[in-house]
A and B are shown apart, each in its own frame.
Chain A
Amino acid sequence: MTANPRGTEQCPRVGLFVTCLADAIRPRLGFAALHLLEAAGCAVEVPRAQTCCGQPAYNSGDSRGGAALARRVIAAFEGYDYVVVPSGSCAGMIRMHYPEALAGDPAWLPRAEALAGRTHELLSFLVDVRGWRPEGVSLAASATYHDSCAGLRELGILAQPRALLREVEGLELRPLTGNDVCCGFGGTFCVKYPSISNAIVKEKAVLIEATGTELLLGGDLGCLMNMAGALHRRGSKVRAFHTAEVLAGMGGGPAIGEEG
C-alpha cells in the first residue's frame, strides 16, 4: 500500500476500516460508510488485510496481543491520507491507544503516532475534515441519539452527528436523558459481566422509550446492538440505526435486527 501515491486535498485517499462488527453483523454500515466518504469527495479503498483493531485483546489485559494487531492495522493502513472508521471506540483505539500499546517499541511507535494523527471516526471526519453536509436526504421519523463513550470522551464527538442529522429532511431529533451515560456494552464487558451489563442497559432502554421516538441513533454498532437487543427483548418498538446509514439514505431499510 505504501507504494501508492497519496491523493489530493480535493480527493484524499481514504482507507476505510470497516470494523469487525460491521463486517460480520451489519455489512450495510460498511456500504453506508463507503457511500458517504465518496459523497464527501474521497477516493475510498478497503484494505483486504484488515480484521479487528485489537480492542478485545488490549482491553482484556493482553497487551502483547493488542500490540500485535496494532502493527497489522498500521501496516495495512499507513499508505493512506486518512483512516476512517464508522465507530468511535475503534477509531479511539487507533488514535489514543495504539501509541500507548506500542510505546515500548521504538521501531513502531513513530508509525503508530503517524497513523493515530490521520485516523478519524466517520461522522466527525465528514464534518471536521471534509466540511460535508448531506443534501437531499430525507427520513420522516422521530429519533433520539445516544453518545457512545469512546467517541464522546476520547474523541470529543458530540456536535458532529447532530449537525449532520439536522440536514436530514423530515427527521426530528429529540434529546435523550443520560445521552452521555454508558449503555453497559463495554466490549467484552457485556459478556464477561452480563448481569451488570443487563442492569445498565435496562435503565438505558427505559430512558430511550421515554423519549417516545421511533428511532434510536448512534455512532457505534456495538452499543447500538446492545441497546437494540435490550429494547427488542422488552418488546419495544424502537428501531435502531447507525447514523451513517440514515445519512446515506438507508434509513428506509431494515433497522438493526430486522430482516433485509
Chain B
Amino acid sequence: MAAVFQYGVARALSDPNLKLAIDRTTVTAERKRAAALADYPQFAAARERGTAIKDHVVANLDHYLEEFERNATASGAKVHWAADADEACRIVLGICREAGARRVTRVKSMLGEEIGLPHALEEAGIERVETDLAEHIVQLAGETPSHIVWPALHKTREQVSALFKAAHRVPHEADTVEAMVESARRELRDRFLSAEVGISGANFLIADSGAVCVVTNEGNAELTTTPPRVHVVTAGIEKLVPSIAHAFAMLRLLVRSATGADLTQYTTFHCGPKRPGDRDGPEEFHIVLVDNGRSRMLRDGLREMLRCIRCGACMNHCVVYRQIGGHAYGGTYPGPMGAVLTPALEGVDKARDLPHACTLNGRCQEVCPVSIPLPTLLRGWRDRSWKEGLVPRGVRSGLGLWRFAAERPWLYRLGTAAAVRAMRLFRRGGWIARMPFAGAWTRYRDLPAPAGRTFMEQLRDWERGR
C-alpha cells in the first residue's frame, strides 16, 4: 500500500463515528433502492435503454456537442469550452470578475469539485457560499465531499449538530434534524439573495434544446440559479442526452438508484437567460463544457465509464467503501466509480492502490443503472499498473516465483508438498495463529492448517486402493 492510501485507510478504520455514519446512510440507501426497484418491474428494460442512450451519445459526442452548442447559443446562453480543470476554473473566474462578483452561491456539483473550483474561488478572494445542506456542512468543516450524492455522509448527525452550534450565527437549540435544518436555512437565506453569480453543475445537457437539467432535493438549485444576475453551469461533456425524453429516461434510473425515490423533489430545466417578459431568471447564462480527460478516456479503453450518471449506487453497495468511506480514496470520486475515474484523472501512478483495493466481487456492476463493467475496468488499471512497473516489488517477485512453479507441475507438486509440511510446524490443533510470511493473514484471522499431505499426494494411494 502506498503511504497516503495506507494512512487514509488506517484513519478511517479507527474512526467509529465514520463507520456509524456510513452505515446509517448506505444501509438506508440500499434498502430504499431495493424497494424502489421491486416497485418498478420495467427496471431491467429501462437500464438497457439508459445504457444504450449513453453509449449512443458517447459514440456521437461531436455531433451532440455541436447540436447542444448551437441550440444553447440560440437560446441566449454563452457556451465556453475547457480542455482541462485549469482552463475551466479560469473561465469561471473570468465570468465572476466580469460580473464584479464578491460572493457566489454554488449548488453541489461533483464536476466543480473535480476541477477544483471551490479552491480556485477562494484563492481569487471570492466568497463561496455552498447552498446544498451537505455541502454547507462540508464547507464549515473545511473538508471535501466523501460521497457523490451525500457529500457529508461521513459525519454523524451528532457531529453536524456540534459543528452548526460552533459556526452558525444563531445556532439551533433543540437537537433535532428539523432544528438543524432551520439553523442552516437562517444562516444561508440572506446570502442566497446577495450573490452576484450562482454556479451549478448539470445532471443532463439536452442537445436538441440547449437546456440544462439540474436535480436536487432541497430546492437550493433554484435559489442559486435564479436570483443572481449571472448563472454559470459547469458540466462534463459526457452529460449530454439527445432530447428531454432521453433525460427523463435517465432520470428514472438515476433517482431510483441514488435515493430510492421515484423522482427528486426538484427537477429544473434551465434554458437561456431571462427573456423580455420573464418574471425572474439570470441576465447572463454561461455554460462551461469541460473535457478534463474525458476524450482521453474514450481512447484509453474507458469508454464505458463515460456512461456514469453519478448515482452513487456502486459505492453504497461496495464492501470496501462501506469500511473506509470516501476520503481514504484520496480523489474527488470515491468508491468503485472513483477507483476507475481517479487514475484516469490524476494518473495511475498517483492512484495505484485504488484499482487494487477491491475484491472484484462484482456487486457494483450488478447495481449500476447503466451496467458499467466496473470490475473489468478496474482490472484494466491493474494491467496498466503492472505494465508500468507500479506494482510493489514484493508482490511482483512473490507472484513471479509462484508463477515459475505453477508453470512447472512437477516443481509445483514438490513446492506445495514442502510448503504444507513447513506450515504444519506452526499449527496448534488445526489452526495456525502466527507464521512467517503469513502475517497479513494471521494478524487478523487464524489460518486453517493444511492436511499432512496434498491432494495430489493422497490421490496416488487412493487410486492404488481402487
**Residues of A with Cβ closer than 8 Å to B?**
18, 20, 22-28, 30-31, 34, 46, 48-52, 54, 56-63, 65, 68-69, 72, 149-150, 153-154, 180-182, 184-201, 225-226, 228-230, 232-233, 254, 256-260
Contacts and interface: CB of A to CB of B under 8 A. Distances in A.
Nearest to B356: A192
A195 B358 CA distance: 13
Contact of B431 (A50, A72, A257): A257
A175 to B, nearest CB: 16
A57 B455 contact: no
Contacts of B458: 27, 31
Contacts of A30: 455, 459
Contacts of A34: 462
Interface of B: 1, 9-10, 13, 319-320, 323-324, 356-363, 365-366, 379, 381-387, 391, 395, 399, 402-403, 405-407, 409, 412, 416, 419-420, 429-431, 440-441, 443-451, 453-456, 458-459, 462
Contact of A200 (B319, B366, B451): B319
Given A26-B448, A229-B445, A257-B430, A63 B409 contact: no
Given A69-B403, A200-B319, A192 B395 contact: yes
B407 A195 contact: no
Contact of A198 (B357, B386, B444): B444
Contacts of B1: 192-193
Contacts, number: 196
B441 A194 contact: yes
Nearest to A64: B386
**Most-contacted residue by chain B among A26, A51, A191 (CB, 10 A):** A51
A35 to B, nearest CB: 10
A195 B446 contact: no
A195 B359 contact: no
A31 B409 contact: no
A186 B455 contact: no
B459 A229 contact: no
Nearest to A31: B462
Contacts of A182: 319, 359, 361, 363
Q: Give me the 3 closest cross-chain CB pairs, A-B, nearest first.
A: A186-B359, A61-B386, A61-B382
Nearest to A190: B441
B323 A199 contact: yes
Contact of A23 (B365, B383, B399, B454): B454
Contact of A153 (B357, B362, B403, B440): B362
Q: Is the interface of A mostly helix, strand, loop or mixed?
A: helix
A144 B255 CA distance: 35
Contact of B403 (A27, A31, A65, A181): A65
B13 A199 contact: yes
A22 B395 CA distance: 23
A26 B451 contact: yes
Contacts of B405: 51
Contacts of B359: 149, 182, 184-187, 189, 197, 200
B446 A233 contact: yes
**Most-contacted residue by chain A among B362, B395, B448 (CB, 10 A):** B448
A256 B429 CA distance: 11
Contacts of B420: 24-25
B111 to A, nearest CB: 29
A232 B320 contact: no
Given A18-B455, A193-B357, 5 more contacts: A61-B356, A61-B387, A194-B443, A225-B448, A230-B445
A63 B1 CA distance: 21
Nearest to A259: B430
A18 B324 CA distance: 35
Given A26-B451, A153-B366, A186-B359, A230 B319 contact: no
A180 B391 CA distance: 30
A61 B403 contact: no
Contact of B409 (A48, A192, A260): A48
Nearest to B1: A193
Contacts of B451: 25-28, 260
Contacts of A28: 451
A6 to B, nearest CB: 22
A99 B393 CA distance: 29
Contacts of B395: 60, 188, 192
A229 B456 contact: no
Contacts of B455: 18, 22-24, 27, 30-31
Given A23-B455, A60-B399, A61-B383, A229 B419 contact: no
Contacts of B453: 27
Given A68-B403, A69-B406, A149-B361, A24 B419 contact: yes
